[in-house]
Structure 1
Amino acid sequence: MEKALERTTLLIGDKGLEKLTNSSIAVIGVGGVGSYVVEALARCGVGNLLLVDHDIIDVSNINRQIHALTSTIGLSKVDVMKNRIKDINPNCKVEIKKEFCTPENVSIILNKKYDYIIDAIDYVKGKIAIIELAKQKNINVISSMGTANKLNNKSFEIVDVSKTHSCPLAKVMRKELRQKGIDSGVKVIYSPIKSIKIEQNDNTKEKVLGSISFVPPVAGLLLAGEVINDLLFDSTCMIEI
């Protein structure tokens, strides 16, 4: 893998690459955002990954999820992603859990010490539980807010959750976190641009969110970049650019 990561090493040095090789990162949710997070982490040389997602690949995922192909429809997202990582970075140790993350099982799912936890799921109670556990265990955590019903992929910001505005999911998260005694200290990626209103049949029981190929992936890559930079520039591994 030395040749494959040669250009990465030119940027971050041997010490930086060693840091990433020894890092353990959990990615909860391997969809439009999470699949691109995983892809970027594997290509950076991260040595240990936990992938959590109970879902299978559906034809409706093809427009925005990196593992979604006509040949992978019906397969487990984490199985496909694990095989993809093996083809990218054979040295990466990948653990998968086919679980839907909830407050009841989060401590079982995240039962090891991680250098970083990345939340890329839609379920609010699950997101809150992930953040709570990360805080309790003093683990770095970053959470993705909404990326659906958007066309502007240049508006994403990574800020403390207390600084978010104009994002319905972030508003709910702020309220729920305050009730847990967490007013700040949680990194999130969000867009302050209001979502596009989607016209749907009022009789539709489940509202379908609009998505496009160039929005969720951007959020995923920005998340991965933030995590990698945090790992490289922490107090134990300072690299010089």
Structure 2
Amino acid sequence: MASELHNEMTRCARILGSEGVAALASSCVMVLGLGGVGSSCVEALARGGVGKFILVDHDVVDITNINRQAIAFHSTIGRKKIDVMRQMVLDINPQAQVEVVDSFVLAENLDALLDEHAVKADFVVDAIDTISTKLAIAAAAQERDINLISAMGGGNKLHPEYLRVADIYDTVNCRMCRIMRKECRKRGISHLRVLYSCEEAAAATARPGTERGERSGLGTMPYFPPIMGQMIAGYVIRSIAGVESREDVLARRK
């Protein structure tokens, strides 16, 4: 089976080298949330040779997920996302180790979740939507020295060419990032690596009868969350394999 895995990774090895491929095979990545961003991220990580996964989600596949989630098909509607994702990973790499956690990621249960599982992970991907929980994850990651990358909002965005990996304090034109910057300062979070879009998105509209602040008016293009997930996977793969990213080069030149 080792030779089969080598054949599957041949094209990656041409770029990453044998040491990079070996580092990925022995690595563990924890992904919080298996929606449009998280599911595509996990798929790309599996195809990139990551050997161990910790996948956290409590949701089931819904028909509205079909336009953007890698695990969403009519045949998977109603199934637990963690189960569908685990099956996909093992279909890509039968040698992978996949641990699933059937749980919502909440500020209230985050410490226990990270204490039990994140200690085994080389990288943690935050692919959830709730800002309060994202802030709790960022604070906990800083306290525990966890390698973290966090996905910002992709709602009402059209142009993936505006996606960037940056520190939260270097972000522009993103409502979620603006809130996160303010709250990170309040909490003493000095650094947070994020994927965000600097595109100026159209304002969200609310359905009649809903609260003004409700994000019910946010639309999502089918290609946008998957591209975000792929880009995060690329950043994680380059980091684990020891390949310098363009973002790191640019940051060093500042």
TM-score bracket for this pair, using the shorter chain length: over 0.9
Corresponding position of 2:248: none
1:233 aligns with 2:242: yes
Mean CA deviation greater in 219-228 or 106-115: 106-115
Deviations for 1:140-164, whole angstroms, at most 9, x for unmatched residues?
1110000011111111011000011
Corresponding position of 1:65: 69
2:207 and 2:130 map into 1 onto residues whose CA distance is 24
Corresponding position of 1:107: 111
1:60 and 1:164 map into 2 onto residues whose CA distance is 30
Identity of matched residues, %: 40
- 1:170 to 1:198, Cα distance in 2 relative to 1, 3 A: closer
Superposed CA RMSD in Å reads 1.6
1:104 and 1:200 map into 2 onto residues whose CA distance is 29
Q: Which amino acid aligns with 1:94?
A: V
1:24 and 1:43 map into 2 onto residues whose CA distance is 14
Deviations for 1:94-153, whole angstroms, at most 9, x for unmatched residues?
111111111221122222322111101001121111112211221111100000111111
Corresponding position of 1:186: 192
Q: Given that residues 97 and 109 in structure 1 are in contact (C-alpha distance below 8 angstroms), is that contact kept between their aligned partners in structure 2? A: no
Corresponding position of 1:136: 143
Q: How does 1:137-156 map to 2 (within 5 A)?
A: 137-156=144-163
Runs of 5+ in structure 2 lacking a partner? 245-254
Report which of the two has the higher share of helix.
Answer: 2
Corresponding position of 2:94: 90
Corresponding position of 1:25: 29
- 1:96 to 1:162, Cα distance in 2 relative to 1, 3 A: same
1:102 and 1:175 map into 2 onto residues whose CA distance is 20
1:8 and 1:196 map into 2 onto residues whose CA distance is 38
Residue 79 of structure 1: how far off its partner (Å):
0.7
1:5 and 1:226 map into 2 onto residues whose CA distance is 18
1:202 and 1:163 map into 2 onto residues whose CA distance is 36
1:214 aligns with 2:220: no
TM-score by length of 1: 0.92
Residue 180 of structure 1: how far off its partner (Å):
1.1
Q: Which amino acid aligns with 1:14?
A: S
Q: Given that residues 138 and 189 in structure 2 are in contact (C-alpha distance below 8 angstroms), is that contact kept between their aligned partners in structure 1? A: no
Residue 204 of structure 1: how far off its partner (Å):
3.4
* Aligned pairs, number: 234
1:197 aligns with 2:203: yes
Q: Secondary structure at the match of 1:83?
A: helix
TM-score by length of 2: 0.88
Runs of 5+ in structure 1 lacking a partner? 236-241
Q: Which amino acid aligns with 1:80?
A: V
Q: Which amino acid aligns with 1:151?
A: L
Q: Which amino acid aligns with 1:82?
A: R
Misfit runs of 4+, over 4 Å: none
1:141 and 1:124 map into 2 onto residues whose CA distance is 15
